[in-house]
Chain A
């Protein structure tokens, strides 16, 4: 039998909703060699990174870490969690380390060695890198970052590949809490240490990172088992009602990515062009054929988010068909009033009218906006550095739909329905400022590793 390494993955985004315990315990009964899950995502928008907050409730993060840690320690195998607390900032790593300490104490776990890997980058360190002539190269058509880009950035993280995680494991860490990293890196690290090549190691991570999303029928938060050999990844669904099929696994390989053939990491890219998928058991599919193309120069990805301003929201409805038919005109009138009173829109403040019932979901991409919807739900959104001013602008932007001056209007007691005369306080507005890479000679210069022995019996 070929040398194999087995990994159980219970969730594709630890803490976002609670993992399902039964399929995880069923998988752990088969004695996997590692327990691994990612906890991060950019899908939640720039707010959590920029504000250094989190998208997942702490209680659910604790729930998931507790279940995973207890099984990993019972089995005596490594537990690796990536992109701690949604964003992988230093705060997120520290928060998850504290959860591990609490769980260890609660269950009186015997001593084990933990590694905490930090990859948050201070904005000053990035400024210094630019000042030394370094290039922060834009991805996806973005221009290169300048000092102005960094000035607009509140917080930034570097995306690690497997190397620092490998080193932590080699140094004896049994629990590794990782800051921002590629989803596939946390899976690749123990596989690389076992002697597997980078192609199969990163590919295994790519296939497994979202847990049961790569199986059918559609279920989230159920466990999957990956059995990795030198040239194949076999993925098995652990939930009794799910199967991993060639179609489900191949379609996951293209999920959330620009193209299905390439997965980029700092040290190179996994080429999946020639991958093959075959059913090898009722619940198991084998994947083979990835190649690894090393990067000429290691380029580490940077993610950054910056605050735009305070945000306020108001909800307005329109039912009068004459107003609905001329809603763009009503909004133009309301915007003119804002321009007069607060200066040009887009200068010190921003205002958006989201027209649910017409094109609120798709905006300019909507191919068939109805000219005459039955009713319109309008969310008015304003953003301004000063919260009080954002509120004042939002109130006027909404109420001016109520007072909109349209010729021959019949409803002269109000051209819109206000759900309530209140202005809702939104989370602050942030934007993604960095989606860039920086070339570095030593990518690990961007990572700080700290070891700690955790003794729950103490």
Chain B
């Protein structure tokens, strides 16, 4: 089975305001986008399980057709950039998504 890394052209994470991190998975080929969208392996539940977090922390989960994209947003466990911060831009939190297998 191919992984998300092989099918998506962009997989990224970034702050969305100071209390959230948003994840974008974007496909160059429409067929790959539809394959992932239809496979239903990338869902609110699967993402919560992957990151071992309460599904309630996922505040938004949308399929964004105009950009061939799937997007979700999580609430940070504390605001960005305070003491103890390890990713102030939220820019390296996407890595575990790359290995998701797509039937």
Which one of A308, A311, A360 lies within 8 Å of B86 (CB-CB)? A360
Q: Would you give the 0/1 interface string for B71-92, flagging 1 where the beta carbon is closer than 8 Å to chain A? A: 1010101111111111111001
A247 to B67 Cα, complex, angstroms: 5
**Chain B residues near A255 (CB-CB < 8 A):** 14, 24
How many A-B contacts at CB < 8 Å in the complex?
Answer: 139
Which one of B10, B17, B69, B82 lies within 8 Å of A46 (CB-CB)? B82
**Chain A residues near B95 (CB-CB < 8 A):** 361-362
- Does residue B18 face the partner (Cβ distance < 8 Å to A)? yes
CB of B87 within 8 A of CB of A362, answer yes
- Does residue A260 face the partner (Cβ distance < 8 Å to B)? yes
Beyond A250-B66, A254-B69, whether A45 also contacts B75 by CB under 8 A is: no
**Chain A residues near B52 (CB-CB < 8 A):** 364-365, 367
Among A200-255, those with CB < 8 Å from B are 246-247, 250-251, 253-255
Q: Would you give the 0/1 interface string for A416-447, flagging 1 where the beta carbon is closer than 8 Å to chain B? A: 00000000000001111001000000000000
**Chain A residues near B66 (CB-CB < 8 A):** 246, 250, 253, 275-277
CB of B73 within 8 A of CB of A46, answer no
- Does residue B19 face the partner (Cβ distance < 8 Å to A)? yes
- Does residue A132 face the partner (Cβ distance < 8 Å to B)? no
Which one of B75, B80, B84, B87 lies within 8 Å of A381 (CB-CB)? B84
**Chain B residues near A364 (CB-CB < 8 A):** 52, 77
CB of B18 within 8 A of CB of A42, answer yes
- Does residue A383 face the partner (Cβ distance < 8 Å to B)? yes
**Chain A residues near B67 (CB-CB < 8 A):** 247, 250-251, 253-254, 260
**Chain B residues near A257 (CB-CB < 8 A):** 16, 22
Most buried by A among B52, B53, B66, B73: B66
Beyond A247-B26, A361-B92, A362-B92, whether A432 also contacts B83 by CB under 8 A is: no
- Does residue A295 face the partner (Cβ distance < 8 Å to B)? no
Beyond A256-B22, A259-B60, whether A308 also contacts B73 by CB under 8 A is: no
Most buried by A among B17, B20, B89: B17
Which one of A42, A43, A251, A350 lies within 8 Å of B24 (CB-CB)? A251
CB of A258 within 8 A of CB of B17, answer yes
CB of B18 within 8 A of CB of A46, answer yes
CB of B86 within 8 A of CB of A260, answer no
**Chain A residues near B55 (CB-CB < 8 A):** none
CB of A432 within 8 A of CB of B82, answer yes
Which one of A141, A276, A383 lies within 8 Å of B75 (CB-CB)? A141
CB of B83 within 8 A of CB of A429, answer yes
Which one of B24, B80, B93 lies within 8 Å of A362 (CB-CB)? B93
CB of A352 within 8 A of CB of B17, answer no
Number of interface residues of A (CB under 8 A): 49
CB of B73 within 8 A of CB of A258, answer yes
With both beta carbons as reference points, the residue of chain A lying nearest to B51 in the complex is identified as A365
Which one of A246, A251, A366, A432 lies within 8 Å of B81 (CB-CB)? A432
Most buried by A among B15, B64, B68, B83: B83
CB of B51 within 8 A of CB of A367, answer yes
Among B12-60, those with CB < 8 Å from A are 14-20, 22, 24, 26, 28, 50-53, 59-60
Which one of B59, B81, B87 lies within 8 Å of A258 (CB-CB)? B59
CB of A42 within 8 A of CB of B83, answer no
Beyond A251-B26, A256-B22, whether A362 also contacts B86 by CB under 8 A is: yes
A220 to B69 Cα, complex, angstroms: 22
- Does residue A139 face the partner (Cβ distance < 8 Å to B)? yes
A141 to B19 Cα, complex, angstroms: 9
Q: How far is the CB of A288 from chain B (nearest CB, A)?
A: 11
**Chain B residues near A458 (CB-CB < 8 A):** none
A261 to B64 Cα, complex, angstroms: 9
CB of A142 within 8 A of CB of B19, answer yes
- Does residue A368 face the partner (Cβ distance < 8 Å to B)? yes
CB of B19 within 8 A of CB of A260, answer no
Beyond A254-B24, A362-B92, A367-B51, whether A46 also contacts B19 by CB under 8 A is: no
A381 to B67 Cα, complex, angstroms: 41
Q: How far is the CB of B19 from chain A (nearest CB, A)?
A: 4
Binding site for B on A (CB under 8 A): 42-47, 139-142, 246-247, 250-251, 253-261, 275-277, 303, 308-309, 311, 350, 352, 354, 360-368, 381, 383, 429-432, 435
* CB-CB nearest 8 A-B residue pairs: A45-B81, A250-B67, A431-B82, A432-B79, A140-B19, A352-B84, A250-B66, A429-B83
5 extra interchain contacts, Cβ-Cβ under 8 A, other than A43-B80, A44-B81, A361-B95?
Answer: A46-B80, A142-B19, A247-B67, A254-B24, A257-B22
